[in-house]
Amino acid sequence: MTVATAGAADAETSRRLQAVALHSPLTLGMWTAPRTFVPRAHLRLISQAFAETAQTPGGRLMIFCPPQCGKSVTAATYGVAWYLLRNPSRRVAVGTYSDSLARHRGRDVRAIITEHGHRWGVGVARGSASTADWRTHHGGGLRSVGVGSSLTGFPADLVLVDDPHKDRQSADSPTQRAAVWDWWSSVATSRLSPGAPAVIIQTRWHKKDLSGLLLEREGRVEDGGRWRVVSLPAFAQAHDPLGRAPGQPLTHPKLPEDDLAALTAHWEDKRASSIPRDWSALYMCTPIVVEGALLPPGLLSQRVLRPGRRLPKLDRICVAVDPSGGGADECGIVAAGRGLDGRVYLLADRSGVMSPDQWARTVCLLAVETRADCVVIEQNYGGGMVRSMVNSAWQELGREGSVRPGSMAPYVTTVTAKRGKYLRAEPIAQAFVQDPVRLAHPMPELEGEWEGWTPASSDSPGRLDASAYAVAHLMPYASPQAPNP
């Protein structure tokens, strides 16, 4: 292809993109920054959700997504520019945790309007010198402020809040959380024009952060409430908005969309380098409560076997299972071994959302991998069927050649959860504190459940129960109840 031909092709592509540039925030980004704005599946969804909300009277949208994935660029920059280019007489209020970030957001949107707005007859009005407070020729415009600042005299046709909480420390502070809520209640919502939509983009640092309080009060759309929630964790969970299977990685602007191995490696690297609370909040879009939790934050990271240290010889190994009750619940599957040093070591976590056939197969494969001699299963949901499910899965693996034909399946024993979760878990929590229980390697999700679950919680984390059953089986003196024979 000659230079002239390539140039003509680029020009034709540019013309086609310009024709549809205002279709959505995503297409505007592709047209204004074709070499730097990279569309991905999650950005398409964010763009679509923003466009639909912005055009819906009284629409409400929350966007949760890991950092550096393009959510703010798509919604807070191209989304706001798209809205003003389509509606140049309307006004947008943007709030963020600091005045400096607010100026940055306003400057980016203004730059798009200044450079490209003339193609649609839109420009920045003379005299609008501020990057955080400017007007269009049509009387619309943008005011971008730090949370806590005033929006007096600025009726807004769209309000967007991007990161109302600066970091975990600020979100953990009751005083700072209250200040954000007061600003939302007394400033942001008071400036909304009738029928004006609102969008919130944030990291879910705390159960009682801005989004958490709003969801408590106003609810989700699917539950008959007001807020549409687009939550895009690094690894998919049940009912993923992108249609990903549980455990499938999120796309990333700097990685090929179809390279699942590279995407998985990227997010696994983030998981390995994050403490459980940060992994859960930043990358899995789920805050962990610490007040009143079974274990204090960071304790389990101190119980991880240090690099360079080897596991002691294990004399007993088991795989423990907390089957899900169906739906979106996760099945807890954890392997553990008892060392000759007297400690119990958690070896692997294979928990996830899966059908009974899937978890039975996963249990058997983990038993093979860890050379477990026993499987411990809570039988509340499955009754006596749980034994036959594991045995059937073992036989099927034998026919496939995944286990040696004729080899004996691990012994299956069951437990019945006759006592409340706290009474089951508290003795095991004390074992973590006193140090006879350790982790063979970091397990952020499991650590997060132990350091985030409280007796008042309605959640029923499977990893917590499965690991409690494993430890109780290998260390009976820590168990408040004995296994069924």
Determine the distance from the C-alpha atom of residue 5 to the mean position of all C-alpha atoms in its chain, rounded to a whole number. 45
Which tokens sit at 202? 């944030």
Which pLDDT belongs to residue 23?
Answer: 93
Q: What is the pLDDT of residues 219-270, one digit of tens each?
A: 999 999 999 999 999 999 888 999 999 889 999 999 999 999 999 999 999 9
**Strand bridging mode 141-146 / 133-135:** antiparallel
Beta-sheet strands, E only, within 153-282: 158-162, 198-201, 228-231
From 258, 283, 308, give the residue that closes a domain. 283
Amino acid of residue 234: A
Q: Are residues 171 and 219 in the same domain?
A: yes
Which tokens sit at 304? 């991880």
CA distances, 471 to each of 264, 431, 464 (Å): 30, 9, 11
Q: Are residues 265 and 311 in the same domain?
A: no
- Give the count of domains, the chain: 2
Q: Are residues 320 and 394 in the same domain?
A: yes
Q: Are residues 69 and 177 in the same domain?
A: yes
468 versus 298: which is more confidently predicted? 468
Closest CA to 284 of 266, 271, 293, 269: 271
* CA 239 – CA 464 distance, rounded (Å): 22
Q: What is the pLDDT of residues 114-127, one digit of tens each?
A: 999 999 999 999 87
Amino acid of residue 103: R
Determine the distance from the C-alpha atom of residue 256 to the mean position of all C-alpha atoms in its chain, rounded to a whole number. 21
Q: Given a cut of 60, is residue 478 above it in pLDDT?
A: no
Q: What is the pLDDT of residues 334-373, one digit of tens each?
A: 999 999 999 999 999 999 988 888 999 999 999 999 999 9
Q: Residue 216 — pLDDT band, cuts 50, 70, 90? A: very high
Which pLDDT belongs to residue 412?
Answer: 92
Residue 417 main-chain phi, psi, to 5 deg: -80, 80
Q: Are residues 308 and 261 in the same domain?
A: no
CATH number at residue 129: 3.40.50.300
DSSP state of 164: S
Q: What is the residue-averaged pLDDT of the chain?
A: 89
* CA 92 – CA 484 distance, rounded (Å): 63
From 283, 314, 344, give the residue that closes a domain. 283
Which tokens sit at 426? 């508290």
Residue range(s) defining the domain that contains residue 231: 16-283
Domain-located, residue 71: yes
Q: Are residues 457 and 411 in the same domain?
A: yes
Q: Are residues 257 and 369 in the same domain?
A: no
Domain-located, residue 11: no
Q: What is the pLDDT of residues 384-416, one digit of tens each?
A: 688 888 989 998 998 888 888 777 888 999 888
Residue 35 main-chain phi, psi, to 5 deg: -95, -15
Q: Residue 383 — pLDDT band, cuts 50, 70, 90? A: low
Q: Are residues 190 and 229 in the same domain?
A: yes
Tell me the mean pLDDT in the region 35-43. 95
Which pLDDT belongs to residue 483?
Answer: 38
Tell me the mean pLDDT in the region 200-216. 94
Helix (H/G/I), strand (E/B), else coil: 288: coil
CA distances, 59 to each of 187, 195, 296 (Å): 18, 8, 39
CA distances, 43 to each of 47, 57, 70, 394 (Å): 6, 23, 7, 42
CATH number at residue 379: 3.30.420.240
